[in-house]
Amino acid sequence: MTAQIVIFTAADVQSYLGDLVTLLQDAVDTGASVGFMPPMSAAEAEDFWHGISADLRAGTRVMLAALVEGVVAGSVQLGLAQRPNSLHRAEVQKLLVHNRYRRRGIGKHLMLALEDAAREYHRTLLVLDTIKGDTAEQLYPKIGYIRVGEIPQFAMIADRSLEATVLFYKILSA
């Protein structure tokens, strides 16, 4: 079972809205720190994806999805910095792989495909942060991201304690 990585437009987000809602709820409700507190309602997840659609229409964001047999198994986004001095930079956001499809290389595949997308937008510096101790902290160094350091008490996690975030960057070769 191989995943097909595709660029998602705003229209694709609407077409696959049910899958995307399930993907985000799965991540939040299994304890991932991706901006929301569990339990996550379908309405809250839908609102999030509608906001993403608006960004895609505005051209300030790029989104990739991993499709397995026509179902969204994962996704990742690139927030394109908009200031005149930052047009070479983008932030990797919301790398999500549904529980059912994890540990099959889909997360890594999405991240590497995102680098190709970044180059198309002339973005040569990628930055991201991830909650300390989450699975993703182990993934990023494996694909060449440099760990910068930690910010303590950055985000509230599922048990309502404040956890540190870890900052990473990667400079893309031409």
Ligand X SMILES: CC(C)(COP(=O)(O)OP(=O)(O)OC[C@H]1O[C@@H](n2cnc3c(N)ncnc32)[C@H](O)[C@@H]1OP(=O)(O)O)[C@@H](O)C(=O)NCCC(=O)NCCS
| Cβ-closest position to ligand X | 107
**Shortest separation between residue 108's beta carbon and ligand X, angstroms:** 3
**Shortest separation between residue 174's beta carbon and ligand X, angstroms:** 25
Q: Does position 160 bind ligand X by CB under 6 A?
A: no
Cα gap 172→174, rounded to integer Å = 6
Q: Does position 24 bind ligand X by CB under 6 A?
A: no
Q: Does position 97 bind ligand X by CB under 6 A?
A: yes
What are the strands, taking DSSP E only, across the chain?
4-8, 61-68, 71-80, 89-97, 125-131, 146-156, 162-171
Residue selected from 12, 17, 22, 104 as contacting ligand X according to rule CB under 6 A: 104
Q: Does position 60 bind ligand X by CB under 6 A?
A: no
**Shortest separation between residue 110's beta carbon and ligand X, angstroms:** 8
Contact in structure between 111 and 145 (CB atoms under 8 Å) = no
Which of 6-14, 43-51, 80-88, 99-107 is the region at the interface with ligand X (rule: CB under 6 A)? 99-107
Q: Does position 106 bind ligand X by CB under 6 A?
A: yes
* SS3 sequence of 26-64: HHHHCCCCCCCCCCCCHHHHHHHHHHHHHHHHHCCEEEE
Q: Quick count: other Cβ atoms within 10 Å of Cβ 44?
A: 15
Residue selected from 70, 103, 159, 174 as contacting ligand X according to rule CB under 6 A: 103
Tokens representing 50?
Answer: 């509608």
Phi and psi torsions of 157, nearest 5°? -105, 180
Tokens representing 173?
Answer: 């070769």
Q: Does position 157 bind ligand X by CB under 6 A?
A: no
Q: Which residues bind ligand X (CB under 6 A)?
A: 27, 32, 34, 95-97, 102-108, 130, 134-136, 138-139, 142
